Chain A
Amino acid sequence: NAGVTQTPKFRVLKTGQSMTLLCAQDMNHEYMYWYRQDPGMGLRLIHYSVGEGTTAKGEVPDGYNVSRLKKQNFLLGLESAAPSQTSVYFCASSYQGGLKREKLFFGSGTQLSVL
């Protein structure tokens, strides 16, 4: 099993360009999350999904959109990139087994630089 796979691993954008980050999981997890990690701050939730076809805003959703058309895929889009979106992005998934059985699985991260 691959677990959680993120692509791409690195990307450099110019201000105003758009891009999509892809997250795929092969564990049949219901819940998927997109986080960003910035120096001196903890991971912050951008958007999340509790099942196919559903998405919800997290802590820092502005400037991002997401889609969950298939259960195994969770896409994060930047429509018009800004330098403030320079960050490391992590996708994660978890099994909907109730809180006592929850375990998070993370992708390897995407380093995004916006010039």
Chain B
Amino acid sequence: KNEVEQSPQNLTAQEGEFITINCSYSVGISALHWLQQHPGGGIVSLFMLSSGKKKHGRLIATINIQEKHSSLHITASHPRDSAVYICAVRLGFTSGSRLTFGEGTQLTVNP
């Protein structure tokens, strides 16, 4: 079993829909990252969470430490949101400790 599981693997939505991508992990962590990988391959950091909730524009990320679960929500989705969304967890307590990455969720938003 992977230490980080993302669901769904693939998601297709219509423009304007509310989208949720889930990330579950099996061990205690010190931080969780959400990343976006563009169709061209570049990777951008969206959020880093250790507790609670963060919001940036139409993106909202939440984490429940007790349930070992995080969600990434996109409100009023747009075709430009089409990308792979990657969850990564930090298993240790220093920046040098290893990040473990999920396989990613491929999101396609149709106009």
Contacts and interface: CB of A to CB of B under 8 A. Distances in A.
Contacts of B101: 42-44
A106 B88 contact: no
A106 B43 contact: yes
Contact of B95 (A41, A42, A43, A99): A99
Nearest to B4: A42
Contacts of B95: 30-31, 50, 94, 96, 98-99, 102
Contacts of A44: 101
Nearest to B40: A108
Contact of B98 (A58, A94, A109): A58
Interface residues of A, number: 28
B50 to A, nearest CB: 6
Interface in A69-111: 88, 90, 92, 94, 96, 98-100, 102-106, 108-109
Interface string B56-91: 000000000000000000000000000000101010
A44 B35 CA distance: 14
A106 B42 contact: yes
B111 interface: no
A88 B43 CA distance: 12
19 contacts: A31-B96, A41-B103, A42-B4, A42-B101, A43-B99, A43-B101, A48-B96, A59-B98, A90-B43, A99-B50, A103-B45, A104-B35, A104-B45, A104-B99, A105-B45, A106-B43, A106-B44, A108-B40, A108-B42
Interface of B: 2, 4, 30-31, 33, 35, 40-45, 48, 50, 86, 88, 90, 93-96, 98-104
Q: Across the A-B interface, give the 5 residue pairs with the lowest CB-CB distance, nearest first.
A: A42-B101, A106-B43, A43-B101, A50-B96, A104-B45
